[in-house]
Structure formats: structure tokens, C-alpha cells
Structure 1
Amino acid sequence: MSLPRSYDAGVLSALGALDAKSIKHVFFIACGGSLSIMHPAKFLLDQHSPLASDVYNAAEFVSRAPRSLDEKSLVILCSMTGTTKETTAAAEFARSKGAVTIGLTVEPASPLATAVDHVVGFEAPYTTGVPIDAKNSNYARIYQIVMGLVALAGGEDLTQPLVASLDALQPAIDRAQETFAPAFEDFAPRFAKQDVIYTMASGASYGAAYSFAICVLMEMQWINSQAIHANEFFHGPFEVLDKDRCFILLKGLDSTRPLEERADGFLHRFGSAENLLVLDAERLDLAGIDPVFAGNLVPLIFFDTLWRFAYKVAELRKHEMLEARRYMKKIAY
């Protein structure tokens, strides 16, 4: 079979060189914000393929050295700038074991790009400041890789509905900005005064909560946070909940939504509504997005809209989002 010509050229090249039916294990490898996109990618693969897969932090991947890593493995790595040394080392390690490697990065001449078998480029407004169409994001590229692999390996071919859904994603994000804007205006003044804000989600949306917690609240605003899985919340973390504690809850549209709904009920039972920012995907206009992919694309909508909220909080705190960082990309570590 052939993949849609509307697929990204880098993805087409990488998958075209791959013997998809020989792949027995997929590894999703990255660090930080790039690691966050690997969780929904694995979720998508789990939904549509019996292929075994794992998500690893890049350094732990090398240190753990899974015995299942071999010439029948596909290792998908991501680093926005391609300069994350742990991810580059992971690519080199994977190739030393005979695995096929695909690296996602915005920099085609970066260390990661030179360390992998195949390079897939994407666009990222957070480093360039230039707005993009979400169909060119790292989320979109990795979803194309996953669903292309599924189709080429003999599974269901949903590549055309995926492309159509990705084309409709940016308009959906733009509409979501308007939908959530009143809540952001309401919650930002209260959240800007907080030293601790927790984020919560499950399923495909967990990566968005993870990224917002560690890369935005902690890295860029110095606000203590933790991404809490919506079910793990009931196995310890719920003990921190009181009327003063602030939470951001992402309620998606995938099969794990009941977990988030349960958490929502508990939060409003013992917390205070004015401190519970709930982004509910059921409020969104997802016109053009195929229902089979709605749950998978909603996390990118959450991720994108939350940046708008983060900048409102930063302005109120008089704290620069990127420039004020003390360590990130400023010292050796």
C-alpha cells in the first residue's frame, strides 16, 4: 500500500525506507516537553495496533538498556532543537543495537539529526516566535508516523482521515482559544498568586498535563507543580486537596474520560470551584476532526490553549516566560 501524498515528506521518506512488517517493538524516547508527546503517541498506537511499545526518558533508556531492543525495533526520538545530549546518546545507543531510528527535530543539521537513520522536521512557535499551523507540529508528525506504521504493517488504514483531521486542527485550536478565554481571564489572577498548582489528566491528555506542569509552571514560572494521573489521584495525592488548593484538570474525549470525570467530581466535592480550572473537551467545536481521532487531537488543543493562560499568569506575576530561566540552556549541567 502507499501512504497519502499529503503526508509530510520527511515522514513519507522515513516510513518508505522501513520494513514495517518486520517491526516488533516501538520505543518512544525523549526528555522534558518532547517526552510529553510520546505518551499520546503510545496511546494512539495502543488503540490501533497490537505492536508492543514503551515510553522512556532518554537517559533511562540507555541506562536501563531493555533486552527487547534489537534489529526488529523502531525507536522514535524527539528533541525540539536536536541538541538534547541524552536524546542524541539514546539514538546512538539504539543504532548500536541494530534498531531503526527516526528523529523529530526543527533543526535538520542538529546532533540528533545526524545520529538517527531518518529525520522528520516539524515547526515549533515556542522557539521561533512565528505562529504555525498545528498540522506541522511535532504532535502531528508523530501521529502520522504511528498511523502510517500501523497501515504499512497490515493494520487498519486510517491515514486519510488522520490527514483530514490534522487539516482541521488549527481552526479547532483557534475556536478553543475563544471558548476558554473567559475562564482564563477569571482564573489567572488567582492562580498567579499561587506557589503550588497541580495538573491532572489521563489517557492521551496526560502528556499535555505533564508538559504544562514541568515545562511551563515549574521551568518558566517557578511554580511548584506535579502532573497527577486522574486515577492515581485516588491512590495518595488526593490527600493534599482542600478549599485553598489549585488544580488544572483536563477532561478529554478518549476512552479514559470516566477517570477524569471521577476526579472532577471529587475535586468539586472537597475543593473550591474558584480554584479548579477545568478544561472540558466536550465544550469544543471539533468540526472537521474525525471522531476516531478526536480524543487524540484534543491534547494538542489543551496544550496550545494553556500557553495562552500561562502568558496571562506570567504577566500578572511580572515574570518572564523564557528569559528569566536561571539554568536551562544557560549553564553546563
Structure 2
Amino acid sequence: MSLPSSYDPGVVAALSALDAAAVRHVFFVACGGSLSIMHPAKFLLDQHAPIPSDVYNAAEFTTRAPRTLNENSLVILCSMTGTTRETKAAADFARAKGARTIGLTVEPQSPLGQAVDHVVSFEAPYTTGVPINARNSNYARIYQLVMGLVALTGGEDLTAELMASLTALQPAIDRAQRHWARLFADYAPRLAKHDVIYTMASGASYGAAYSFAICVLMEMQWINSQAIHANEFFHGPFEVLDRDRAFILLKGLDSTRPLEDRADEFLHRFGSAANIMVLDAATLDLTGIDPRFQGNLAPLIFFDTLWRFAYKVADLRKHTMLEARRYMKKIAY
């Protein structure tokens, strides 16, 4: 089969060189914010193919050394700069086991780009400050890899529908920014007062909650946080809930939405709406995004809109988002 001409050339090259029929296991491997995109990628693969897969932190991938990693494995790695040493080491480890490797990075000539069999580049506005079209993001690239693999292994070919949906994604994000502008203006002063903010989601959206908790609230705002799975909330974490506790709940559009609905009801039953910001993808205009992919693309809308919300919180806290970091990219660790 041939992939749509709108597919990223790097993705096409990587998939064309792959013996897809031989793939028996997929490993999604990264650290930090790059790890967060692996959760929705696995969710997408689980939806459309019987191929088993796992998500690993890069350092644990090499130290755990899963026995299923072999020449019939595909390892997809991501590092924004391509300099994350644990992810580069994971690529070396995977290749030594005979696995095929694909690396996603902004810098194809980076250590990760040099370590993998095939490199796929993407664009990232958060470190460059240059606006991009969301269809060129790391989410968009990894979704192309997943749905391309599904089609190449005999699953339903939805690659054209995916690309049409990715083309419609940036306009949907822009509409979401306008739609939630008043909500953000209302909640930024409220949440800026808190030193602990929990984020919650499930399914494809869990990665967005995870990224916002560890990479934005903790790393860039020094606000204590934890990403809580919407069902795991009921197995311990709900005991912290009271009317003073702050939560951000992401309600997506995939099959796990009932879990988020249940969490929403409980939060508002025992917490205070003044401290609970709910982003509900069901309220958005997703024109042009195929209904089969709306649940998968909602996380990127959450990620992009929450990033801008974080700047509002930072301004109120008089905290500089990126430059104020004490350790990241500044010392040896």
C-alpha cells in the first residue's frame, strides 16, 4: 500500500524501510514531556491493531531489559532536543538487541538522531517561540507512525482520514483558545494562589495531564502537582479532596470518558467549583476532525491550550516560565 502524499517524508521513509509484517511488539520510549506523547500513541495503537505495546521511561527500559525486546520489536523513541542521554542510550540498547528503531526529535543531527535507524523530525514552539501548525508536532508525527503501521500490518487504512483530521487540528486549537479564554481568565487568579494543583484525566488524555503536572506546574512553576488517573482517583487519592484543594480535570472524547465523568461528579460533590477547572472537549468545535480521531486529538488541544494558561498563572505568580529553572539544562545531573 502507499501512504498519503500529505504524510511527513520522514515518517514515510521510516515505515517504508520497516518490515511491518515482522513486528510483534512495539515499545514507546522517552522521558518527561516526550514520554507524555507515548501514552496516547499506545492508546491509538491499542484501538486499531492487535500488536502488543508498552510505554517505558527510557532509563527503566534499559535497566529493566524486557525479555520481549528482540529483532521482531519496533522501538519508537522521542527527545525534543535529541540530547536526552537516557533516550539515546535506550536507542543503542534496542539496536543491540536487534530491534528496529525510529527516533523523533527537533534536531535530526542530534545524538538521538544519529543513534536510531530512522529519524523523524518535528516542530516545537515551546522552546523556539516560533508558532507552528499542530500537524507538524510530535503528536502528529507519532500518530502517523502508528496509523501507518496499522495499515501496513493489515488493519484498517485510516491514514487519509488521519491526515485530514491533522490538517483541521490547528484551526480547532485556535477556536479552543477563544472558547476557553474566559474560563482561563477566571481560573488563573484562583489557581495561581495554590502551591498544590492536581491534574486528572484518563485514556488518550492522561499523557496531557501528566505532561502538564510534571513539565509545566512542577518544572516551570515550582507548583507541587501529581497527574492522577481518573479511575485511580477513587483508589486512594480522593482522600485529599476538600473544598480548598485545587484540581484541573481534562474530559476527553475517547472510550474512557465515563471515568472522567465520574471524577467530575465526585470533585464537585465534595470540592469547590471555585478551585476545580474542567476542560471539556465535548464543548469544542472540532469541525474537520474525523469522529474516529476526535478522542485522540483532544489531548493535543488540551496540551496547547493549557500551555498558554500556564503563562497567565506565571505572570500572576511573577515567575518566569523557562528561564527561571534552576537545574534543567543548567547543571550536570
- What TM-score do you get using the length of structure 2 for normalisation? 1.00
- Aligned partner of 2:239 in structure 1 is 239
Secondary structure in 2 matching 1:319: coil
CA deviations 1:54-84 (Å, max 9, x no partner) are 0000000000000000000000000000000
- Aligned partner of 1:144 in structure 2 is 144
- Aligned partner of 1:283 in structure 2 is 283
| Paired residue type of 1:152 | L
- Aligned partner of 1:5 in structure 2 is 5
- Aligned partner of 1:65 in structure 2 is 65
Matched, 1:41 2:12: no
| Paired residue type of 1:35 | L
- Aligned partner of 1:30 in structure 2 is 30
Aligned residue-pair number: 333
- Aligned partner of 1:134 in structure 2 is 134
Take 1:64 and 1:270, find their aligned partners in 2: how far apart are those partners? 41
Secondary structure in 2 matching 1:313: helix
- Aligned partner of 1:228 in structure 2 is 228
- Aligned partner of 1:316 in structure 2 is 316
Q: Which residues of structure 1 form unaligned runs of 5+? A: none
- Aligned partner of 2:175 in structure 1 is 175
Could you list the runs of 4 or more consecutive aligned residues of structure 1 that deviate by over 6 angstroms after TM superposition?
Answer: none
What's the CA shift for 1:193? Answer: 1.0
What's the CA shift for 1:17? Answer: 0.2
Secondary structure in 2 matching 1:225: strand
What's the CA shift for 1:5? Answer: 1.2
- Aligned partner of 1:205 in structure 2 is 205
Take 2:20 and 2:291, find their aligned partners in 1: how far apart are those partners? 26
CA deviations 1:179-225 (Å, max 9, x no partner) are 11111000100111111000000000000000000000000000000
CA deviations 1:125-174 (Å, max 9, x no partner) are 01110000000000000000000000011111000000000000000000
CA deviations 1:234-256 (Å, max 9, x no partner) are 00000000000000000000000
- What TM-score do you get using the length of structure 1 for normalisation? 1.00
Secondary structure in 2 matching 1:132: coil
Take 1:115 and 1:143, find their aligned partners in 2: how far apart are those partners? 22
| Paired residue type of 2:332 | A
| Paired residue type of 1:83 | T
- Aligned partner of 2:80 in structure 1 is 80
Take 2:140 and 2:251, find their aligned partners in 1: how far apart are those partners? 21
| Paired residue type of 2:232 | E
| Paired residue type of 2:315 | E
- Aligned partner of 1:92 in structure 2 is 92
Take 2:273 and 2:318, find their aligned partners in 1: how far apart are those partners? 26
- Aligned partner of 1:325 in structure 2 is 325
- Aligned partner of 2:271 in structure 1 is 271
**What is the 5 A alignment of 1:242-253?**
242-253=242-253
| Paired residue type of 2:249 | L
| Paired residue type of 1:88 | K
Take 2:95 and 2:181, find their aligned partners in 1: how far apart are those partners? 46
What's the CA shift for 1:308? Answer: 1.1
| Paired residue type of 1:291 | P
| Paired residue type of 1:323 | E
Take 2:307 and 2:54, find their aligned partners in 1: how far apart are those partners? 28
Take 2:170 and 2:87, find their aligned partners in 1: how far apart are those partners? 29
After superposition, the CA RMSD in angstroms is 0.3
CA deviations 1:19-49 (Å, max 9, x no partner) are 1011000000000000000000000000000
Take 1:218 and 1:263, find their aligned partners in 2: how far apart are those partners? 23
Secondary structure in 2 matching 1:27: strand
| Paired residue type of 1:64 | R
Secondary structure in 1 matching 2:180: helix
CA deviations 1:77-110 (Å, max 9, x no partner) are 0000000000000000000000000000000110
Take 1:39 and 1:181, find their aligned partners in 2: how far apart are those partners? 27
Secondary structure in 2 matching 1:55: strand
Take 2:243 and 2:115, find their aligned partners in 1: how far apart are those partners? 50
Take 1:87 and 1:323, find their aligned partners in 2: how far apart are those partners? 24
Take 1:154 and 1:186, find their aligned partners in 2: how far apart are those partners? 48
- Aligned partner of 1:307 in structure 2 is 307
Matched, 1:101 2:101: yes
Secondary structure in 1 matching 2:195: coil
